[in-house]
Structure 1
Amino acid sequence: MAPGVFCVSLLAVIMAQSVECCVPHSIQAQVPVEVRPGYVISQVPVAGCHIQGQWLTSSDPHFAMRSDGTIVTVDVTTVTAEGRSFWVRGRDGGGRRWRMEVRLSPDPEQEHIQVPMRVPLNVPAQKGAQRGPSEVLRRSKRRWSPLPFSIIEQDIPPFPKDVELVGSDSSVNFTVYYMISGPGVTMSPEKLFSVDRDTGMVRVHYPVDREQYPKFVFTAQVFDRRSGKETDRPLDITVLVEDINDNAPTFSGLLTFSVLEQCKPGTEVGEVKSTDKDEADTPHTKIRYTLLTGGQFFTIGSHSGLITARTSTLDRETQVVHAVTMEIRDMDGAKNGLFNTATATITLLDINDNPPTFRETTYKATIKENRADVLVLRIPVDDKDEEKTPNWNARFVITQGNENGNFRIDTDHETNEGLLYVVKPLDYEKGKTVKLMISAQNEAPLVGMAGTWLSIPVDVSVGDEDEGPEFTPPNMVIRVKENTPNGTLLSTYTALDPETKSSKGIKYYTKFDPGSWIAVGETTGELRVANTIDLESPLVTNGAYTITIKAVDESKKSGNGNITLLIEDVNDNVPKIVPGTDLTLCEEEEGQMGSITIEAKDADLSPYAGPFNFMLPEGHDGKWRLRDIQNGSAVLEQVVEMARGVYAVPVRVTDLQDKGGVQVLSVRVCQCLGGECVAKRSSVSVGIWGVLAMLLAFLLLLLLCLLFVFYCTTKGEKIYMEDCSGGMLLKSNTEAPGDEVKSAALLIVPSTGVAVDTVDSSMKGAGLVGLLNQNGAGCPAPGPPLIGQQTINLNRESVYQTSSRQDFLTAQGQSFYSTGQYGGGNFYTDTTFLKQSQASSTLSALHTWKTNGLYLGKKLVYFGDESEERYADDVARAYDYEGEGSPAGSVGCCSDFGDQDNLDFLDSLGSKFKTLANICMDKEEEI
Structure 2
Amino acid sequence: MPERLAEMLLDLWTPLIMLWITLPPCIYMAPMNQSQLLTSGSPLELNRLSEEQRVLNRSKRGWVWNQMFVLEEFSGPEPILVGRLHTDLDPGSKKIKYILSGDGAGTIFQINDITGDIHAIKRLDREEKAEYTLTAQAVDWETNKPLEPPSEFIIKVQDINDNAPEFLNGPYHATVPEMSILGTSVTNVTATDADDPVYGNSAKLVYSILEGQPYFSIEPETAIIKTALPNMDREAKEEYLVVIQAKDMGGHSGGLSGTTTLTVTLSDVNDNPPKFAQSLYHFSVPEDVVLGTAIGRVKANDQDIGENAQSSYDIIDGDGTALFEITSDAQAQDGIIRLRKPLDFETKKSYTLKVEAANIHIDPRFSSRGPFKDTATVKIVVEDADEPPVFSSPTYLLEVHENAALNSVIGQVTARDPDVTASPIRFSIDRHTDLERQFNINADDGKITLATPLDRELSVWHNITIIATEIRNHSQISRVPVAIKVLDVNDNAPEFASEYEAFLCENGKPGQVIQTVSAMDKDDPKNGHYFLYSLLPEMANNPNFTIKKNEDNSLSILAKHNGFNRQKQEVYLLPIVISDSGNPPLSSTSTLTIRVCGCSSDGVVQSCNVEAYVLPIGLSMGALIAILACIILLLVIVVLFVTLRRHKNEPLIIKDDEDVRENIIRYDDEGGGEEDTEAFDIATLQNPDGINGFLPHYRRGLLGGVSQDAA
Normalization by structure 2: what TM-score?
0.60
The answer to whether residue 144 in structure 2 is matched with residue 144 in structure 1 is no
Match of 2:89 in 1: 170
The answer to whether residue 231 in structure 2 is matched with residue 261 in structure 1 is no
Match of 1:452 in 2: 372
The CA deviation at 1:435 is: 1.9
Asked if the contact 1:329–1:340 (Cα under 8 Å) also holds between the matched residues in 2, the reply is: yes
The CA deviation at 1:363 is: 0.6
Change beyond 3 A, Cα 1:534–1:399: farther
What is the CA–CA distance in structure 1 between the aligned matches of 2:551 and 2:161, rounded to whole Å?
A: 112
What is the CA–CA distance in structure 2 between the aligned matches of 1:646 and 1:455, rounded to whole Å?
A: 95
The answer to whether residue 352 in structure 2 is matched with residue 435 in structure 1 is yes
Letter of the 2:146 counterpart: E
What is the CA–CA distance in structure 2 between the aligned matches of 1:686 and 1:540, rounded to whole Å?
A: 41
The answer to whether residue 168 in structure 2 is matched with residue 252 in structure 1 is yes
Letter of the 1:230 counterpart: P
Change beyond 3 A, Cα 1:432–1:537: farther
Note the 1:689-728 alignment, pairs <5 A.
Answer: 689=627
1:73 pairs, out of 28, 33, 36, with 36
Q: SS at the partner of 2:54?
A: coil
What is the CA–CA distance in structure 1 between the aligned matches of 2:575 and 2:123, rounded to whole Å?
A: 132
Match of 2:530 in 1: 612
Match of 1:236 in 2: 152
Change beyond 3 A, Cα 1:540–1:368: farther
Match of 2:264 in 1: 346
Change beyond 3 A, Cα 1:667–1:457: farther
What is the CA–CA distance in structure 2 between the aligned matches of 1:595 and 1:398, rounded to whole Å?
A: 76
Per-residue CA deviations over 1:750-808 (Å, capped at 9, x if unaligned) read xxxxxx559xxxxxxxxxxxxxxxxxxxxxxxxxxx9869xxxxxxxxxxxxxxxxxxx
Match of 1:208 in 2: 124
Per-residue CA deviations over 1:588-607 (Å, capped at 9, x if unaligned) read 999786646535356446xx
Match of 2:244 in 1: 326
The CA deviation at 1:433 is: 0.6
Which piece of structure 1 moves more, 586-595 or 165-174?
586-595
Match of 1:652 in 2: 578
What is the CA–CA distance in structure 1 between the aligned matches of 2:507 and 2:308, rounded to whole Å?
A: 87
Residue identity over aligned pairs, in percent, reads: 18
Q: SS at the partner of 1:73?
A: helix
The answer to whether residue 587 in structure 2 is matched with residue 662 in structure 1 is yes
Per-residue CA deviations over 1:839-879 (Å, capped at 9, x if unaligned) read xxxxxxxxxxxxxxxxxxxxxxxxxxxxxxxxxxxxxxxxx
Letter of the 2:372 counterpart: T
Match of 1:573 in 2: 490
Letter of the 1:615 counterpart: Y
Match of 1:914 in 2: none
Match of 1:27 in 2: none
Note the 1:282-297 alignment, pairs <5 A.
Answer: 282=199, 283-294=201-212
How many residues in Structure 1 have an aligned counterpart in Structure 2? Answer: 569
Match of 2:6 in 1: none
Change beyond 3 A, Cα 1:453–1:634: farther
Asked if the contact 2:456–2:487 (Cα under 8 Å) also holds between the matched residues in 1, the reply is: no
Asked if the contact 2:172–2:261 (Cα under 8 Å) also holds between the matched residues in 1, the reply is: no
Match of 1:222 in 2: 138
Match of 1:360 in 2: 278
What is the CA–CA distance in structure 1 between the aligned matches of 2:580 and 2:351, rounded to whole Å?
A: 63
What is the CA–CA distance in structure 1 between the aligned matches of 2:51 and 2:345, rounded to whole Å?
A: 123
Could you say which structure has the larger radius of gyration? 1
The CA deviation at 1:635 is: 6.0
Change beyond 3 A, Cα 1:235–1:648: same
Match of 1:772 in 2: none
What is the CA–CA distance in structure 1 between the aligned matches of 2:344 and 2:623, rounded to whole Å?
A: 85
What is the CA–CA distance in structure 1 between the aligned matches of 2:617 and 2:586, rounded to whole Å?
A: 35
Match of 1:279 in 2: 196
Change beyond 3 A, Cα 1:412–1:691: closer
What is the CA–CA distance in structure 2 between the aligned matches of 1:204 and 1:264, rounded to whole Å?
A: 59
Q: SS at the partner of 2:89?
A: helix
Asked if the contact 2:323–2:342 (Cα under 8 Å) also holds between the matched residues in 1, the reply is: no
Q: SS at the partner of 1:179?
A: strand
1:154 pairs, out of 73, 79, 96, with 73
The CA deviation at 1:251 is: 0.9
Unaligned runs of 5+ in 1: 1-57, 65-71, 76-86, 92-116, 120-134, 697-712, 717-744, 748-755, 759-785, 790-828, 831-927
The CA deviation at 1:250 is: 0.7
Q: SS at the partner of 2:237?
A: coil
Asked if the contact 1:216–1:238 (Cα under 8 Å) also holds between the matched residues in 2, the reply is: yes
Change beyond 3 A, Cα 1:464–1:688: closer
Q: SS at the partner of 1:326?
A: strand
Asked if the contact 1:399–1:437 (Cα under 8 Å) also holds between the matched residues in 2, the reply is: yes
Q: SS at the partner of 1:171?
A: coil
Asked if the contact 1:378–1:418 (Cα under 8 Å) also holds between the matched residues in 2, the reply is: yes
Match of 2:11 in 1: none
Q: Which has the higher contact order (CA 8 A, sep 6+)?
A: 2
Letter of the 1:600 counterpart: M
Asked if the contact 2:132–2:155 (Cα under 8 Å) also holds between the matched residues in 1, the reply is: yes
Change beyond 3 A, Cα 1:90–1:585: farther
Change beyond 3 A, Cα 1:653–1:324: farther
The answer to whether residue 117 in structure 2 is matched with residue 197 in structure 1 is no
Change beyond 3 A, Cα 1:137–1:615: farther
Unaligned runs of 5+ in 2: 1-27, 598-604, 606-614, 635-664, 678-708
Letter of the 2:489 counterpart: D
Letter of the 1:241 counterpart: V
Change beyond 3 A, Cα 1:182–1:173: closer
The CA deviation at 1:344 is: 1.8
Q: SS at the partner of 2:378?
A: strand
Letter of the 1:251 counterpart: F
Per-residue CA deviations over 1:422-462 (Å, capped at 9, x if unaligned) read 576521222111223445578x7455754534442211112
Q: SS at the partner of 2:627?
A: helix
Asked if the contact 1:176–1:222 (Cα under 8 Å) also holds between the matched residues in 2, the reply is: no
Match of 1:825 in 2: none
Match of 1:179 in 2: 98
The CA deviation at 1:277 is: 1.3
What is the CA–CA distance in structure 2 between the aligned matches of 1:590 and 1:507, rounded to whole Å?
A: 79
The CA deviation at 1:478 is: 8.1
Match of 1:776 in 2: none
Change beyond 3 A, Cα 1:406–1:681: closer
Change beyond 3 A, Cα 1:164–1:559: closer
Q: SS at the partner of 2:528?
A: coil
Asked if the contact 1:322–1:345 (Cα under 8 Å) also holds between the matched residues in 2, the reply is: yes
2:625 pairs, out of 680, 687, 699, with 687
Letter of the 2:134 counterpart: F
The CA deviation at 1:324 is: 1.8
Change beyond 3 A, Cα 1:241–1:461: same
Asked if the contact 1:331–1:338 (Cα under 8 Å) also holds between the matched residues in 2, the reply is: yes
Note the 1:813-828 alignment, pairs <5 A.
Answer: none
Per-residue CA deviations over 1:79-100 (Å, capped at 9, x if unaligned) read xxxxxxxx96799xxxxxxxxx
What is the CA–CA distance in structure 2 between the aligned matches of 1:253 and 1:484, rounded to whole Å?
A: 96
Normalization by structure 1: what TM-score?
0.48
Per-residue CA deviations over 1:138-163 (Å, capped at 9, x if unaligned) read 83886535442122323576866554
Asked if the contact 1:495–1:551 (Cα under 8 Å) also holds between the matched residues in 2, the reply is: no
What is the CA–CA distance in structure 1 between the aligned matches of 2:320 and 2:400, rounded to whole Å?
A: 41
Asked if the contact 1:574–1:659 (Cα under 8 Å) also holds between the matched residues in 2, the reply is: no
Per-residue CA deviations over 1:685-734 (Å, capped at 9, x if unaligned) read 9636369999x9xxxxxxxxxxxxxxxx9999xxxxxxxxxxxxxxxxxx
Per-residue CA deviations over 1:38-85 (Å, capped at 9, x if unaligned) read xxxxxxxxxxxxxxxxxxxx9657367xxxxxxx4359xxxxxxxxxx
What is the CA–CA distance in structure 1 between the aligned matches of 2:217 and 2:458, rounded to whole Å?
A: 83
